[in-house]
Structure 1
Amino acid sequence: MLQRGRPLRLKMGFDPSRPDIHLGHVVGLRKLRQLQDLGHQVILIVGDWTAQIGDPSGRSATRSMLSHAEVLDNAESYMRQFFKVVDRDRTQVEWQSQWFGDFTLANVIELTSRFTVAQFLERDDFARRFADHQPIAITELLYPLLQAYDSVAIEADVEFGGTDQMFNLLVGRELQEMMGQTPQQCFLMPILVGTDGVQKMSKSLGNYIALEESPQEMYGKVMSLPDSLILQYYEYLTDVPNADLAAMGQAMESDSANPMDFKKGLARSITATFHDTAAASGAETQFEQVVQRRDVPDDIPECRLADVAELSINQLLVRTELVASASEARRLVGQGAVEIIHSSGDRATVAAGAPLPALAAGDVIRAGRRRFVRLVQ
């Protein structure tokens, strides 16, 4: 391809099924930016049609469909976040509705006629569900076909995707060849493990770090990573040279360096990338104050004591917006992660099922490691 003497058309698709892009998406976007800087054409596909179906990759059940209005709302957020990584002026953005908007039933039937159900049941997640007698919606079988047609519509030379997308990318190759195009190359990107240290980063699993998190939240989440992920995050999300990564790994393996120091450098780098150096420095200062020294931050939200005096701890956490839902409140209380810090300096962990300690103006409620609210008259 490079011998053709023209820039390669590099395709990567995003389904705006949720409003945030997270660091897992950034792995592929960073590679696109590097190739963009070498003169190649980056084409981002906004999957405003496939997002309504939902790609079942890695899932064991049929996904619920989104309305087109929900998809458009999420896409607006995606468009803002893409360009934190790739160069806006050198990026071509295409919406699937540009070609699928004119599709007729005849077009859909013609597209489906090119593949068999047996071929699609070779895909791991479909095969597992079929073997376990779990439902597979016809719409889900359409997903790889629609993603493949994107490659035909823009005449992609290379498609980027995570390793869990290999089947879909290969369908794109096959479809291009069937329709007289040169089949695309498939560039598979590694999957970034989430903050739980076990599963891939995912909004639905809650183990993600979003690009639009506050500096304090972003820094704190990186610091919560297991030490085993430090090198992976450096490799996938920073420009630290391989020789330095090897030295870092050797130092941690030999216990000649504290992994905390490397993790702080990682948190500073990632936070500065998506905010700025000053924000990263401030987030580090707050982390050291709040998490390492267990001090209360100077600037925290306030809530009138009278507004929460008669509430249970779960209701209080929701009312003060320390948590997003009652279920999150129950989870934090059950984990012993909710604490009352009295103005005297005494601390009391709130136990599940136990009565809430007496509250007074000046007391601080802590939920998790980094969320606080101060009670005032």
Structure 2
Amino acid sequence: MVKPEEQVELLKENTVDLISEQELLNRIKEKGQLRVKLGVDPSRPDLHLGIAVVLRKLRLFQDLGHRVILIIGDFTGMIGDPSGRSKTRPMLSKEEIEENVKTYKAQAFKILNPVKTEIRFNGEWLRKLSFEDIVKVTSKYTVARMLERDDFEKRYENGIPISISEFLYPIAQGYDSVMINCDVEVGGTDQKFNLIVGRHLQSEYGQEPQIIMTLPIIEGTDGKLKMSKSYNNYIAFNDGAKDMYGKLMSIPDSLILKYMRLLTKIPEEEVVMFGKGMKTGKLNPRDVKMRLARDITTFFHGEGEAAKAEQEFRQIFSERGIPSSMPKVYVDEDTMPLLSLIKQIQKDKSNSELKRLITQGAISVDGKKVTDIFAPITIENGMIVRVGKRKFVKISKKT
């Protein structure tokens, strides 16, 4: 059994807020095994590396002998977490939430130990609350305190509407902590206010207030905005090995060390060494990034698939080759404008997105870049179209 003092040292690594370190130490000494909570709303079907930062910390808690309670917000998901948002988020339907929940457990268990994880749905208790119950709970927190939250304060000052349901969200999340008698709640830095509400409500209900632990939010592949499916800059747990490796290689060099610290088990001494090597020019950032991509891809897909992904990446980008296999797209016409052809390849993108890809030089046909959206393309069996850095398709004529 790891000593309480050693546990705290391990757990506080890479945290932003820990309220408080002394409380965490005392709680471990008193209880031995802690109940550690993470609340997630099933707003999207795919988990991405942004949530992996928090799940990795929870796994560390488990490895140290503690129990994780994963709260799936089947009820609060219909409200939508307003954290960091400049406007009210559309509510999800019950059907949308149920569909997303199906994949959550399987994805979360790629990191968490299922034996040491308790899955709960907050609809278990929130759906049972009467209006009288809701009045009692909400009376324990003031509007003034609610407006201390940064995003609410900005919206209020700018005259942007805030719905009452959004005020209810942090109350509901805090009430979750009361219902499971939580010892520690973990989340990203954007969740700090909600976690503090939970701490306050537990005190109001006569419980020991939960310890709060927040972790950094990682930027997505664009290097600017936080990783999110909404910003199309995410790397999903369910991405294939080649796609995952390729996306990791596309992140800006400035994120390499942050990703290493938050998403891998690479020792800190080695991370520091990589940082010094890149700074002095002794190490090529591309090579360090390949180590990062290999480590993360190996975790999700195994060494064999990671090795194949790396080999293909080298072939495409270092040796200017093409993938050994690629999807086929069948077309009827003998000749067609480039935009029409790309529409058949990228059906999930809008016309404006496709036009931007073409004019920015992201499209090549048989190795030749084409930037005219109306350029006539003569269709030939086996011709290869490249879209962006990583997508290759082979064109075939329908017979």
1:2 correspondence with 2:22: no
Contact 1:305/1:360, CA 8 A, preserved across alignment: no
CA deviation after TM superposition for structure 1 residue 2, in Å:
1.2
Q: Secondary structure at the match of 2:376?
A: coil
Contact 2:335/2:376, CA 8 A, preserved across alignment: no
Could you tell me how far apart the structure 2 residues matched to 1:275 and 1:82 are? Answer: 15
Partner of 2:6: none
Q: Secondary structure at the match of 1:357?
A: strand
Could you tell me how far apart the structure 2 residues matched to 1:26 and 1:122 are? Answer: 29
1:207 correspondence with 2:233: yes
Which residues of structure 2 form unaligned runs of 5+? 1-26
Partner of 1:319: 344
Could you tell me how far apart the structure 1 residues matched to 2:338 and 2:136 are? Answer: 59
Partner of 1:164: 190
Among 111, 118, 121, which residue is 2:144 paired with? 118
CA deviation after TM superposition for structure 1 residue 309, in Å:
4.1
Could you tell me how far apart the structure 1 residues matched to 2:340 and 2:34 are? Answer: 55
Partner of 1:129: 155
Partner of 1:344: none
Could you tell me how far apart the structure 1 residues matched to 2:299 and 2:352 are? Answer: 33
Among 377, 390, 396, which residue is 1:357 paired with? 377
TM-score, structure 1 normalization: 0.95
**Bigger mean CA deviation after superposition, 330-339 or 261-270:** 330-339
CA deviation after TM superposition for structure 1 residue 210, in Å:
0.4
1:376 correspondence with 2:396: yes
How high is the sequence identity, in percent, across the aligned residues? Answer: 44
Partner of 1:180: 206
Indicate how the Cα distance of structure 1 residues 239 and 163 shifts in structure 2: closer, same or farther if over 3 A, else same. Answer: same
Contact 2:335/2:379, CA 8 A, preserved across alignment: no
Q: Counterparts in 2 of 1:78-117, with a 5 A limit? A: 78-117=104-143
Indicate how the Cα distance of structure 1 residues 207 and 304 shifts in structure 2: closer, same or farther if over 3 A, else same. Answer: closer
Among 262, 265, 272, which residue is 1:236 paired with? 262
Contact 2:337/2:374, CA 8 A, preserved across alignment: no
Could you tell me how far apart the structure 2 residues matched to 1:107 and 1:86 are? Answer: 34
Could you tell me how far apart the structure 2 residues matched to 1:29 and 1:97 are? Answer: 22
Partner of 1:74: 100
Contact 1:305/1:361, CA 8 A, preserved across alignment: no
Could you tell me how far apart the structure 1 residues matched to 2:134 and 2:347 are? Answer: 48
CA deviation after TM superposition for structure 1 residue 324, in Å:
4.3
Indicate how the Cα distance of structure 1 residues 5 and 100 shifts in structure 2: closer, same or farther if over 3 A, else same. Answer: closer
Partner of 2:364: 339
Contact 1:350/1:356, CA 8 A, preserved across alignment: no
**Bigger mean CA deviation after superposition, 59-68 or 315-324:** 315-324
Q: Counterparts in 2 of 1:293-308, with a 5 A limit? A: 293-306=319-332, 308=333
Could you tell me how far apart the structure 2 residues matched to 1:56 and 1:16 are? Answer: 14
Could you tell me how far apart the structure 1 residues matched to 2:253 and 2:204 are? Answer: 47
Could you tell me how far apart the structure 2 residues matched to 1:162 and 1:309 are? Answer: 53
Q: Secondary structure at the match of 1:102?
A: coil
Partner of 1:277: 303
1:41 correspondence with 2:67: yes
Number of residue pairs aligned between Structure 1 and Structure 2: 371
Could you tell me how far apart the structure 1 residues matched to 2:133 and 2:335 are? Answer: 62
Contact 2:336/2:376, CA 8 A, preserved across alignment: no
Could you tell me how far apart the structure 2 residues matched to 1:236 and 1:127 are? Answer: 30
Could you tell me how far apart the structure 1 residues matched to 2:337 and 2:193 are? Answer: 50
RMSD: 1.5
**Bigger mean CA deviation after superposition, 353-362 or 126-135:** 353-362
Contact 1:291/1:370, CA 8 A, preserved across alignment: no
1:265 correspondence with 2:285: no
Deviation string 1:168-201 (CA, Å, 9 cap, x unpaired) is 0000000000011000000111111111111211
Partner of 2:12: none
Q: Secondary structure at the match of 1:20?
A: coil
